[in-house]
């Protein structure tokens, strides 16, 4: 009850409080002389999430591409951020007294939560000198727009990655690069990998909520040993596209992308949940925050995201799905495989300590799916380094002379304050329980 009371009070009063990021000059949330408009206000910024584009099954070289991003503004100073940071890290220290992150790194984990979303604002999406479109942010500062294009030499395509520029339609002060992974029709089979993140490729220990909080906000992100090598092998052998489908909030995109780059995981599209954190109806807001935390909400998000990818993908594209036993990946992937039996190449589930790992669970989850189409593994070296025979797959990229994977950006994200506060209260709740 105390936890719920604190959450309600903060939701009602915090709208009037402004905060700022306290990062070094190179950090995307910094307010400095280089990020000020001519009127002295902070320069609005983008987070552009790598997205996906699909070639039409009926018309060659015609693609439906998706631009996905946030538009936000750093806010003015306040004492609130320091209070929240202190509360969060004090709670975490009760669980784990080790210090793995510097002060700057700890602030970087919280930085994405301290921005103001810019709603109902026009953004120019420029795909080439002659191809552009205006999109409008929604009430959360987000835009998620489909654009139909025809492949031509004037587009900036390297390998299977299309680069575009997003800019404020009013100011045009600064453009930001975004990336779209193009899924083209194949003469044979095309390869895609649908991958979870937490406990599949990044050690998060999701079944233990205290350890999850520590691994998210206190410690360096650590890769599951060997998984980067496996993904690189699949991509280099078959030119597989990677689709990172995760139930984590988009607030964590920035640091997750940094982790993937550092650990040399292939670039790919991101499909994450949006958490509604601000709005005029505070009672509705509280309900949405609690709904976000429900386990079935995570399951529904992943099902929708994966089904959307398969429904729009060229019919020659096949999918290998990689997840873990910590939550509901077996049940989700099993449902997808039953619905799209000819599109799923293989399912791999990583055994996670603390998850439900009995054989009966997997037999039920993968009911009616051939036993040779799914595998539970403990270590990455149990996975094959090739998924197809060389003659079975068409790995020709759209533009074979270039590769853009190393250029994929880690531009910052936009959100708001509430998920951070919710996290503090969540951790405080477990602290009281622990004591």
pLDDT tens for each residue of 8-51: 444 444 443 332 222 223 444 434 444 444 444 555 678 899 99
Q: What CA–CA distance (Å, rounded) separates 36 from 106?
A: 25
Mean pLDDT of 340-352: 96
Tell me: pLDDT of 422 over 60: no
Higher pLDDT, 421 or 277: 277
pLDDT value at residue 309: 97
How many domains, in total, are found in the chain? 1
Terminal CA-CA length for the chain: 17
CA dihedral 79, 81, 85, 86 (to 10 degrees): 10
3-state DSSP percent of the chain in helix, strand and coil, to 5: 35, 25, 40
Other CB atoms within a 10 A radius of the CB of residue 434 amount to: 10
pLDDT value at residue 195: 98
pLDDT value at residue 348: 98
Whether residue 31 is contained in a domain is answered as no
pLDDT value at residue 80: 58
Query: To the nearest whole percent, how much of the chain has pLDDT over 90?
Result: 46
Tell me: pLDDT of 67 over 80: yes
Q: Which domain holds residue 129?
A: 1-17+41-91+105-382
Alpha helices in 151-252 (DSSP H): 209-217, 227-238
Tell me: pLDDT of 129 over 50: yes
Tell me: pLDDT of 189 over 60: yes
pLDDT value at residue 340: 96
Angle at 102 between CA 422 and CA 354, to 5 degrees: 55
Tell me: pLDDT of 3 over 60: no
Whether residue 74 is contained in a domain is answered as yes
pLDDT value at residue 175: 79
Mean pLDDT of 391-415: 55
For 243, the enclosing helix (H) or strand (E) is: strand 241-249
pLDDT value at residue 290: 76
Which phi-psi region, left, alpha or beta, contains residue 193 (left: φ > 0; alpha: ψ -120 to 50)? beta
Contact indicator for 388, 189 with CB cutoff of 8 Å: yes
Whether residue 153 is contained in a domain is answered as yes
Whether residue 420 is contained in a domain is answered as no
Distances, alpha carbon 188 to alpha carbons 206, 279, 314, in Å: 39, 49, 11
Higher pLDDT, 295 or 3: 295
pLDDT value at residue 1: 42
Indicate the range of 281-290, 332-341, 363-372 predicted with least confidence: 281-290
Whether residue 395 is contained in a domain is answered as no
Q: What single string gives the DSSP state of each residue in 280-320?
A: S-HHHHHHHHHHHTSHHHHHHHHHHHHHHHHHHS-TTEEEE
Query: To the nearest whole percent, how much of the chain has pLDDT over 70?
Result: 70
Indicate the range of 13-17, 95-99, 113-117 predicted with least confidence: 13-17
Q: Which residues contact 175 (CB under 8 A, 6 or more apart)?
A: 126, 165, 166, 167
In the predicted model, what is the mean pLDDT of the chain?
79
Distances, alpha carbon 272 to alpha carbons 103, 155, 209, 215, 308, in Å: 27, 27, 20, 19, 13
Q: Which residues contact 400 (CB under 8 A, 6 or more apart)?
A: 159
Q: What single string gives the DSSP state of each residue in 33-86?
A: GGGB-TTSSBPPEEEE--EEEEE-SSSTTEEEEEEEEEEEEE----SHHHHHHH
Other CB atoms within a 10 A radius of the CB of residue 304 amount to: 12
Other CB atoms within a 10 A radius of the CB of residue 48 amount to: 25
Q: What CA–CA distance (Å, rounded) separates 325 from 339?
A: 21
Tell me: pLDDT of 416 over 90: no
pLDDT value at residue 8: 45
Reported as a pLDDT band with limits 50, 70 and 90, residue 145 is very high
Higher pLDDT, 332 or 142: 332
Tell me: pLDDT of 187 over 90: no
Q: Flag whether the pTM goes above 0.85.
A: no
pLDDT value at residue 75: 63
pLDDT value at residue 39: 47
Whether residue 180 is contained in a domain is answered as yes
Higher pLDDT, 327 or 115: 327
Mean pLDDT of 138-164: 91
For 375, the enclosing helix (H) or strand (E) is: strand 374-377
Mean pLDDT of 134-154: 91
E-assigned strands of 75-141?
115-117, 122-126, 132-136
For 147, the enclosing helix (H) or strand (E) is: strand 142-150
Whether residue 426 is contained in a domain is answered as no
pLDDT value at residue 329: 96
pLDDT value at residue 71: 87
Indicate the range of 103-107, 163-167, 352-356 predicted with least confidence: 103-107
Burial status of residue 119 (CB atoms within 10 A of its CB: 0-12, 13-18, 19 or more): middle
Whether residue 243 is contained in a domain is answered as yes
Other CB atoms within a 10 A radius of the CB of residue 123 amount to: 22
Q: What CA–CA distance (Å, rounded) separates 53 from 182?
A: 5
pLDDT tens for each residue of 217-272: 778 899 999 999 999 999 999 999 999 999 888 878 888 999 999 999 999 999 99
pLDDT value at residue 276: 61
Q: What CA–CA distance (Å, rounded) separates 338 from 336?
A: 5
Contact indicator for 327, 298 with CB cutoff of 8 Å: yes
């Amino acid at each position: 009850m105390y936890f719920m009371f604190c959450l309600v009070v903060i939701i009602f009063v915090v709208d009037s409080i402004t905060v700022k990021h306290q990062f070094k000059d190179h950090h995307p949330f910094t307010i400095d002389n280089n990020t000020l408009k001519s009127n002295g206000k902070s320069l609005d910024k983008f987070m552009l999430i790598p997205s996906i584009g699909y070639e039409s099954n009926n018309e060659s070289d015609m693609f439906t591409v998706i631009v996905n991003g946030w538009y936000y503004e750093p806010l003015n100073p306040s004492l609130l951020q320091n209070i929240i940071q202190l509360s969060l890290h004090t709670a975490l220290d009760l669980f784990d007294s080790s210090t793995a992150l510097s002060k700057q790194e700890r602030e970087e984990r919280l930085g994405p939560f301290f921005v103001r979303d810019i709603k109902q604002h026009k953004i120019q999406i420029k795909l080439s000198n002659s191809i552009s479109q205006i999109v409008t942010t929604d009430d959360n500062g987000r835009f998620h727009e489909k654009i139909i294009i025809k492949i031509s030499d004037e587009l900036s395509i390297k390998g299977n990655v299309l680069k575009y520029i997003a800019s404020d339609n009013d100011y045009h002060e600064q453009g930001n690069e975004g990336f779209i992974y193009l899924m083209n029709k194949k003469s044979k089979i095309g390869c895609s990998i649908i991958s979870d993140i937490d406990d599949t490729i990044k050690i998060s220990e999701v079944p233990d909520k205290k350890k999850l909080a520590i691994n998210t906000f206190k410690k360096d992100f650590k890769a599951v040993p060997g998984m980067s090598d496996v993904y690189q092998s699949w991509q280099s052998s078959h030119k597989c596209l990677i689709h990172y489908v995760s139930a984590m909030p988009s607030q964590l995109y920035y640091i997750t992308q940094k982790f993937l780059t550092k650990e040399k995981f292939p670039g790919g599209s991101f499909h994450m949940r949006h958490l509604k954190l601000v709005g005029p109806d505070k009672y509705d807001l509280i309900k949405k925050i609690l709904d976000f935390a429900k386990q079935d909400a995570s399951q529904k998000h992943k099902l929708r995201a994966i089904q959307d990818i398969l429904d729009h993908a060229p019919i020659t594209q096949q999918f290998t799905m990689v997840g873990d036993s910590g939550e509901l990946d077996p049940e989700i992937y099993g449902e997808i495989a039953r619905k799209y039996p000819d599109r799923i190449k293989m399912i791999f589930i990583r055994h996670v300590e603390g998850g439900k790992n009995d054989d009966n669970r997997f037999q039920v989850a993968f009911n009616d799916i051939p036993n040779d189409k799914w595998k539970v593994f403990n270590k990455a070296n149990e996975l094959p380094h090739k998924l197809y025979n060389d003659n079975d797959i068409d790995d020709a990229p759209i533009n074979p002379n270039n590769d853009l994977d190393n250029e994929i950006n880690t531009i910052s994200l936009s959100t708001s304050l509430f998920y951070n506060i919710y996290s503090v209260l969540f951790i405080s709740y477990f602290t009281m329980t622990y004591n």
